[in-house]
Amino acid sequence: MKIKIAIPSKGRISDPAVAILEKAGLGLKDASNRKLFSNTHNSDISVMFARAADIPEFVADGIVDMGITGLDLIKESNSDVEILTDLKFGQTSLVLASPEDSDINSLDDIKSEIVVATEFPNLTDSYLKSHGINAKIVELTGSTEIAPFIGIADIIADLTSTGTTLKMNHLKIIDNILDSSIKLIANKDEYFNNNEKKNLIGTVNISINGVIEAERKKLLMMNVSKDNLQIIKDLMPSMTGPTVSEVLSDREDTVAVQAVVDEEEVFDLVNKLKNSGARDILVVPIERII
């Protein structure tokens, strides 16, 4: 049984998608710029490169079994796919924005005859309709922020993350339509009904979850004299452990201690450990936790 995973061929989420597969043990074996497909280090799993916006439909139609793409693009295309895991990157919001000097500050100020420019006509139209607003939608494929200033729309619906682009274009947020980030998705029928593919899809999902989990954790390693061991053990929050092992050296009073800890705890913890007599402290990145 073989499965295909669609990942973005270009744009901001292409490299992080490849990186996450690599860390999950599914590094690409023969990717080159012009190829549409690549094998991975697992002979049952291959990758197809596609535009991020096309991936939800390819997964829903079973052209590929799994995919990596944004929630905004999944919802805009109204694709019926199974969302398996949030990949914790590409965080952005689809917002309605008006020119800074406009009187439109909230949905209540929008009159029905308003014109909205957007790359997300379906999401925008259904959001406005659900608030009783029938807008005219002008569909663009990029640089939406310019639309009010060239007179083709009153307001826009576009993605924002740092807010820099809105600010540069003198636009203010008036409402939030959708918070989006990048998801691992699967074809529903294969995930729920195809026994063989279900297993392989599940394995990929578990590996990728392991990568996400590991990104928030560090491995702490240190040498501790036996006299200080109890204090150090008490300080260590750990998944299971800490692990204490013998150090083969002249200093027989020394043991090595290691434990996996949350990234947010590392800064404080390292100081406390140092002050309690730990030596040679190493903070090591982890690739995957299964």
Ligand X SMILES: O=P(O)(O)OC[C@H]1O[C@H](OP(=O)(O)OP(=O)(O)O)[C@H](O)[C@@H]1O
Ligand Y SMILES: Nc1ncnc2c1ncn2[C@@H]1O[C@H](COP(=O)(O)OP(=O)(O)OP(=O)(O)O)[C@@H](O)[C@H]1O
Nearer to ligand X, 51 or 217 (CB): 51
Nearer to ligand Y, 42 or 69 (CB): 69
CA dist 29 and 22 (Å) reads 10
Segment lying near ligand Y (by CB under 6 A), choices 34-42, 65-73, 237-245, 263-271: 65-73
Q: Does 160 help bind ligand X (rule: CB under 6 A)? A: yes
Ranges within 123-142 binding ligand X (CB under 6 A): 142
CB of 173 to ligand X, least distance (A): 10
Q: Does 271 help bind ligand X (rule: CB under 6 A)? A: no
Residue 202 binds: one of ligand Y, ligand X, none (C-beta under 5 to 8 A by kind) = none
b/e per residue, 108-128, with b = 16+ CB within 10 A? eebeeebbbbbbbbebbbebb
**Which position among 45, 53, 208, 211 is part of the footprint of ligand Y (CB under 6 A)?**
53
Segment lying near ligand Y (by CB under 6 A), choices 5-13, 110-118, 202-210, 261-269: 5-13
Q: Does 143 help bind ligand X (rule: CB under 6 A)? A: yes
Contact 168, 149 (CB under 8 A): no
Nearer to ligand Y, 161 or 230 (CB): 161
User: Which two three-digit tokens encode residue 112?
Assistant: 């029905």
Residue 38 binds: one of ligand X, ligand Y, none (C-beta under 5 to 8 A by kind) = none
Sheet (strand 37-39) strand order: 37-39, 45-50, 3-8, 66-70, 182-187, 81-86
**Which position among 130, 164, 195, 240 is part of the footprint of ligand X (CB under 6 A)?**
164
Binding site for ligand X (CB under 6 A): 142-143, 145, 158-165
Binding site for ligand Y (CB under 6 A): 11-13, 52-53, 70, 72-73, 90, 92, 159, 161, 180
